[in-house]
Chains A and B, each alone.
Chain A
């Protein structure tokens, strides 16, 4: 594998995995634009893909390590007691862990059973471009819906303060809502749709703030991305990949650093900002690349 390709793909994975712009879509579209499809289809690409996922998940765990310690402690307490009552789970961490588990199940099942056929069917650059536009439309629609809901709540609060919903936190989310967010995550198996984007929009549609929706989205991402990496470790250690291992590990470190900086930026960003810029990026980038691939397909520009 070419070192420049590896570093570029590592940066691309580390950044786009967490930004709501579809990492899978970018790994289909950009190599298509640059003519790197051979790199992606090469058998030696597998160890790199594994280390990129591991690097990203380690970055997420490092950033949210306090959250995970609290969630696991709360989870152990509630597991022993067998209930989520305030006497055993006063801060609601055990319940939050249950929300993460429930939200992970749909993507875990669909990902394992259907990931490869879905990727094979949709990993075509022109399709990924079209889905990237659709992802942008979903982000915009989610943002508009969220703003309309908040406006409606403000009107209610002005008329009847006792009905105003204050500070939608994870503790107010129901298990059914967590399952719905988990189902939304399944659509991210289609290149072009963003996992973090879909889970954030679904979380916001269920009343979460941008920051809380982003936090839940990143907590949901950790077990899925980690499992995707860990379950492939035996392949990584296979004899035929030994020569590629050092460069793949280097790629994993680069992806991890990029992912850590990305999640740090995004958590700060979503304290005050919205999804709109990412939506506009997806619509513009998707439209331009769709036009490019269409012209290429029609033979107007050389392949």
Chain B
């Protein structure tokens, strides 16, 4: 199995990138259905920020559950 910190870190980085993307006004945001597509999509920002945190927390638990972690 790959290092959980690497996997979790990559997922978290992608989620943070998506959160920033949806926070930037003036560019078209796909998969947004309320307001203008160029407005910041706050719900999407919250979702991807939460997923980034969950990925890092998951990585911590997975790393601690590996044999010889403690």
* Interface residue ranges, A against B (CB under 8 Å): 78-79, 82-84, 98, 101, 105, 108-109, 112-117, 231
Contact = CB atoms under 8 A, between A and B. Distances in A.
Nearest to A114: B31
Contacts of A112: 43-44, 47
Nearest to A115: B33
Interface string B17-61: 000000000000001011000000001101100110010010011
Contacts of A101: 54
Contacts of B47: 108-109, 112
A75 to B, nearest CB: 10
A105 B31 contact: no
Contacts of A108: 47, 50
Nearest to A231: B43
B43 A82 contact: no
> 9 closest A-B pairs (Cβ-Cβ)?
A116-B33, A83-B64, A113-B31, A82-B64, A82-B60, A112-B47, A231-B43, A112-B43, A82-B61
User: How big is chain B's contact interface, by range?
Assistant: 10 to 19
A83 B33 contact: no
A117 B33 contact: yes
A84 B61 contact: yes
Contacts of B31: 113-114
B40 to A, nearest CB: 13
Contacts of A115: 33
| Of listed A78, A79, A113, residue having the most chain B CB within 10 A | A113
B10 to A, nearest CB: 17
Contacts of B63: 82
Contacts of B60: 82
Given A105-B51, A109-B47, A112-B47, A79 B33 contact: no
Contacts of A98: 61
A99 B51 CA distance: 15
B43 A83 contact: no
Nearest to A94: B61
